[in-house]
Amino acid sequence: MTSTPPNDLAHTLSKVPAVTLGFWAIKILATTLGETGGDSVTMTWLGETTEEATGYGYLIGTAIFGVLLVVLVLLQIRARKFNAWLYWATIVASTTAGTTLADMATRSLGIGYPGGSLLLLACVLVSLFAWYKALGTVDVNTVSGRREETYYWITITFSQTLGTALGDWIADSSLSYSGSALIFGAALIVVAALYAATKISRVLLFWSAFILTRPLGATVGDFLDKPRESGGLELSRPLASVVLLIVIVGLIFLLSQRPGGHSGSEKAA
């Protein structure tokens, strides 16, 4: 009986997908769905954009999506192998919870977009620092155990929330939603160029891209459903959410979904 090589064993235990172009395509769509889906609950159904708004809609929405996120993260951590449907459901839950949580922080708590963005940036940095201190790396290629997954999902949730606040902050300026989407899209292109042309840490570039996809999705989502006078297309939030969900499901079916390689190298990130 031969033993399993360490690298193969880590690959078998991996429950995080390989970081490919398909991964980024689904991630951007998932962040956009998180924006339209979160706004559908808090703004459309709970009335946070009406004159009778109390601010409790953001709290209720955060509680709903927060509970869903915790349940899915626990299922993801307890799972014995990579499951694309479970992974992406958890990502969508994290980005939707991030939308409602960011709105609650910036609006209900009264600290505004700058205060909310700085607070959430601090949360992301503290999470990454704690992860690094505990395990010696924040490379997603090492996420193959429960401790790594716990840090991974905490960091992801904070980054999704930060992205929402940052996207709303930039879009609230004179750039508008479409202009802000172009800014964040250009920033992602710069990160991709640095990946292709330099030897800058792949871990740093991964987390930079991961965080940037969230404000990109947030501004694209707002562009789709915000009123025309605010620079949006004024599409139905629930309808936009359903269409995005259908596209995501289709891509998961069509694109290869395999667990990432956990050899300890930085190449996949």
**pLDDT tens digits, residue range 144-190?**
788 999 999 999 999 888 888 888 788 777 677 888 889 999 999 99
Q: Would you say the C-alpha torsion 77, 66, 28, 238 has a positive or negative sign?
A: positive
Q: Report the pLDDT value the prediction gives residue 12, as an integer from 0 to 100.
A: 42
Retrieve residue 25's tokens. 């395509």
Of 46-50, 71-75, 242-246, the range with the lowest mean pLDDT is 46-50
- Residue 173 inside a domain? The answer is yes
The whole-number pLDDT of residue 2 equals 38
The reply to whether 266 falls in a domain is no
Q: Which residue did the predictor score with more confidence, 84 or 227?
A: 84
Is residue 231 within 8 A of residue 177, CB to CB? The reply is yes
Considering the domain boundaries, does residue 138 fall inside one? yes
The stretch 199-221 carries a mean pLDDT of 92
Q: Which domain holds residue 213?
A: 13-254
Q: Is residue 21 part of a domain?
A: yes
User: How many domains does the chain divide into?
Assistant: 1
Residue 3 in domain? no
5 in a structural domain:
no
Distances (CA, A) of 253 to 85, 134, 170: 10, 36, 34
User: Which pTM was predicted?
Assistant: 0.85
pLDDT of residue 269 exceeding 50, the answer is no
As a whole number of angstroms, the distance between CA 104 and CA 51 comes to: 17
In the predicted model, what is the mean pLDDT of the chain? 84
**Residue 234 to residue 240: CA distance in whole angstroms:** 10
Residue 50 has pLDDT above 80, yes or no: no
Q: How many CA atoms lie within 13 A of 213 on its CB side?
A: 23
Residue identified by tokens 């951007």 is 28
Predicted confidence at residue 53, as pLDDT, reads 55
Q: Residue 2 is encoded by which pair of tokens? A: 């031969």
Task: Note the pLDDT of residue 52.
Answer: 58
d(CA 35, CA 10): 34
Separation between Cα atoms, residue 127 and residue 99, nearest integer Å: 19
114 within a domain of the structure (yes/no): yes
Q: What is the pLDDT of residue 226?
A: 83
Residue 147, domain member (yes or no): yes
Check if the beta carbon of residue 247 is closer than 8 Å to that of residue 5: no
